[in-house]
Amino acid sequence: MQVTVKVFRFNPEKDKKPHYEKYKLEAEPTDRVLDMLEYIKGYYDGTLSFRRSCAHGICGSDAMRINGRNYLACKALLKDMHSKKITVEPILGLRVIKDLIVDMEQFFTHYKSVMPYFVNDEPPPPAERIQTIEERERFDDTTKCILCACCTTSCPIYWASDDYVGPAAMIAAHRFIFDSRDKAAAERLKILNDQFGVYRCHTIFNCTECCPREIEITQAIGELKAAIITGRVD
């Protein structure tokens, strides 16, 4: 079927302001938005710029705003858009560098701020540390995060203030705080017990709705709030 793809364009070396370009092309219902962007770049305009790598929803490169909602372009199939008109824009809240490419530095700075790494300075046993199936299950959901930034850049609170650490960083913190083997939960909770930490979350649920890994983000943030208030991690 014929579809019209409207793409946000901005070339910092030429344009004073961004604009939109429309492209008409033939597409199959099972085509990914990423396939359409590749086609446009290959046959209509080689200057169109976007990030992509694995093309099946694991590497997290191609987070974009598609018809007003954040998706990975490789997981957004035409048939699921329920429209022959597709609008593709960069994710919001981060500086646009060129076309669909945004500056990810601030996003990764927030990620790095929550000690997103395993801490346990006790000498390890000769084999693995023991962890029960239930203890492992406790933080399973937040291990799925691929740092695509769909969640953080769908959050109106983050749009208003990029000092807010954002959902993705809190998911990273959650993954370690609720890991029975980790020893730095208190330090991470102290970092998040801040006006730019957990309290900025107003349970809007945009993050949870658009997470391509279907992580229950708002719930995880709620568990962090509870841990800070009760001083207990369980």
Binding site for other proteins (CB under 8 A): 11-14, 30, 38-39, 41-43, 45-47, 49-61, 75, 77, 97-99, 101, 104, 108, 112, 116-120, 124, 126-133, 135-136, 139-140, 143-144, 146-147, 175-176, 179, 181-182, 214
Q: Which residue, 44 or 159, is less far from other proteins as judged by CB?
A: 44
- Sheet with 19-26, strands from edge to edge, namely 19-26, 2-9, 85-89, 63-66, 69-72
C-beta of 24 vs 129, nearer to other proteins: 129
Which residue, 124 or 156, is less far from other proteins as judged by CB?
124
- Give the C-alpha separation, 145 to 148, whole Å: 8
Concatenating the DSSP letter of every residue in 53-70 gives: SSSSSSS---EEEETTEE
Please tell me the distance from the alpha carbon of residue 30 to that of residue 100, in angstroms, as a whole number: 22
Between 8 and 39, CB nearer to other proteins? 39
Residue 186 Cβ vs other proteins, minimum distance, rounded to whole Å: 17
Least separation, in Å, of the C-beta of 203 and other proteins? Answer: 25
Indicate the residue among 74 and 192 with the shorter CB distance to other proteins.
74
Region label for 93, one of left (φ > 0), alpha (ψ between -120 and 50) or beta (otherwise): left
Shortest distance, position 61 Cβ to other proteins, whole Å? 5
Give residue for tokens 């604009």: 19
* Residues in the chain, overall count: 234
Amino acid present at 24: K
Q: How far is the CB of 54 from other proteins (least distance, A)?
A: 4
